[in-house]
Amino acid sequence: MSQVFSPASMQAPRSRLSSNGPELSRIVAGMWRIGEWNMSAQQRLTFIEQCLDLGVSSFDHADIYGDYSAEGLFGEALALQPGLRDKMELVSKCGIKLLSPHRPGHAIQHYDTSAAHITSSVEHSLRQLQTDRLDLLLIHRPDPLMDFDEIAGAFTQLRQAGKVLHFGVSNFSRHQFECLHRRFPLVTNQVEFSPLHVAPLFDETFDGLQDVGVAPMIWSPLAGGRLFQSGDANVENLRNVIKQIADQLQRPFASVVFAWIMQLPCRPLPLTGSGRIEAVGVAVEGTQFTLSRSDWFAILRAARGHEVA
């Protein structure tokens, strides 16, 4: 397989999430594990700059990532070169309260989508990221106690204050998305999807988003690395199918997976999770080609373990 990394020749295209939504890079750099990358602030800044050079200008955060520390690590790097803020889009999430020494008041891990918590989470994210605005805020997970009208009201106030420009959700069902979308225009639903988790193809998640013209964001597109490592016989078969296609196309294995995801008509924007710029480059390479329909279905068949009907 070709593993050549040539950032000068590749740029991630831009993609608008919805008719009224923001334009993000088609590949989004996920910051979930930034605390595990063991980088100095200067090294983090270099990584950010290398992402921007690849056209990857969108960075995905959440208040809870890194036990409430990831946003601060990114903000610390951004403060070394504050002019970069206007060249990027910052995404964050709120609504989960973790048990953490950093949050001694939390007695149990739970969800909180109250207006007060949404607002305080945004204020905290802005301080940590050392910015005056978020380009996009997502409710991290559906909350059994969520009040759609209260959430819509909080979104309205944050937008009027200029603290958040656009809003969406994460891990919502089609029905949950539509309930909130009727009250406030959402621009994305960030969901898990990969060849090892194809449920959104069949549970109306992707169909519903395509119907209302909203593009999903995709977390764990490589199944958290299980596509590369799992010894399960079904995963090994899937891996071999993808590898065969990658070899024929002379593309990296992971680029084929990203291309497979991005071929969906709902226009998904996958996240990366790596602190290696080479891995981000491989994701960007997935924007440079499309699969034949037969190759696309060969991956789906291997993913599901059976033919289509």
Q: What is the pLDDT of residues 261-281, one digit of tens each?
A: 999 999 999 999 999 999 999
Say if strands 96-97 and 110-111 run parallel, antiparallel, or are unpaired.
antiparallel
In this structure, is residue 73 part of a structural domain? yes
In this structure, is residue 97 part of a structural domain? yes
In this structure, is residue 36 part of a structural domain? yes
In this structure, is residue 110 part of a structural domain? yes
Give the CATH number for residue 64: 3.20.20.100
Q: Report the catalytic residues.
A: 65
Write out pLDDT tens, residues 144-199: 999 999 999 999 999 999 999 999 999 999 999 999 999 999 999 999 999 999 99
In this prediction, residue 28 has a pLDDT band, given cuts at 50, 70 and 90, of very high
CB contact at 8 A, 47 and 275: yes
Q: What is the pLDDT of residue 264?
A: 99
Write out pLDDT tens, residues 89-141: 999 999 999 999 999 999 999 999 999 999 999 999 999 999 999 999 999 99
CB hemisphere CA count around 298 (13 angstroms): 16
In this structure, is residue 261 part of a structural domain? no
In the chain, the number of structural domains is: 1
In this structure, is residue 267 part of a structural domain? no
Residue type, 86: D
In this structure, is residue 178 part of a structural domain? yes
Its domain, for residue 157, covers: 23-187
